[in-house]
Amino acid sequence: MRKTLLSAIAVSAILSGYAAAADLPVKVPVYKAAPVFTWTGWYGGVNAGYGFDPNYYFENPPGTIDQVFNLNPQGGFGGIQIGYNRQMSPVWLIGIEADFQIAGIKDRFNFLYPGGGASYAVLAIDYFSTIRGRIGYVQDRNLYYFTAGGAVAKFQANVYADFDAGDGLINGDKWLGGYVVGIGYERAFDNNWTLKFEYLYLDFAHLNITGVNTNGGGLVALTGDPYLHVVRLGLNLRFATTP
């Protein structure tokens, strides 16, 4: 009888302990959601690439094409860019970007002037710059975009044409304005750095750089309708991120 009573008391105590434990609050682990990447913010960086341009003409006098120059300026360039992106939704982005380039895009054409002697023409694009809007399609850290805006470039011309009676001399430069369109792909490889590949087409106003005909002091000119194809790689640092 005594043993039975003690056993009952022990079982009752154990059951009471389980009941008390069941009433204690249970800590549920808290899982913090991973931050969502956004393209919104300012950025700046550097770029480098290659560009090429079309043929030009020698006019003697201006307005009369006297010689077609087989000039195809091409070469490398490098520069800087700065811009701002605004991600409007999970998949759409708008932005603006400006850049400035120092270029070595040039060509030299050697020729014999009809009835004269050895002659040459050199044309170079020393600088060009664009300011463009961008609209892009976003897939997480991948950005596919279209871009368009305005462009300016500095053209430098140097021509010596050996006529039968006199020479044609041109040594001058001119800034031209135009428009630019292009497409690109940009990849964010962490929250602060992005790498981009871009193609641009730049179309400028009519080029006309004049010089002097030493036989009688008339004018000569180098003319053309310049455009520029550009491919480049760029590296950007985002100034502020809001992941």
Please say if the pLDDT value at position 152 is more than 60.
yes
Q: Identify each DSSP E strand in the chain by its residue range.
A: 41-52, 56-59, 65-69, 74-87, 92-112, 118-139, 142-163, 166-188, 193-204, 207-213, 219-224, 227-238
- Is 29 part of a structural domain of the chain? no
Residue 21 phi/psi, 5-degree rounding, is -65, -35
- Is 219 part of a structural domain of the chain? yes
Task: Indicate the pLDDT class of residue 215, thresholds 50, 70 and 90.
Answer: confident
Please say if the pLDDT value at position 14 is more than 60.
no
pLDDT at residue 149, rounded to an integer: 99
Please say if the pLDDT value at position 6 is more than 60.
no
Number of domains forming the structure of the chain: 1
| Single-letter code of the amino acid located at 121 | A
Question: What CATH number does the domain containing 46 carry?
Answer: 2.40.160.20
- Is 216 part of a structural domain of the chain? yes
Angle at 153 between CA 147 and CA 154, to 5 degrees: 170
- Is 13 part of a structural domain of the chain? no
- Is 58 part of a structural domain of the chain? yes
Domain that holds residue 214: 39-238
- Is 4 part of a structural domain of the chain? no
Q: What is this structure's pTM?
A: 0.81
User: Omega into 62 within 30° of 0, i.e. cis?
Assistant: no
- Is 92 part of a structural domain of the chain? yes
How many residues comprise the chain?
Answer: 243
pLDDT digits (tens, 9 = 90+) for 96-137: 999 999 999 999 989 887 777 888 999 999 999 999 999 999
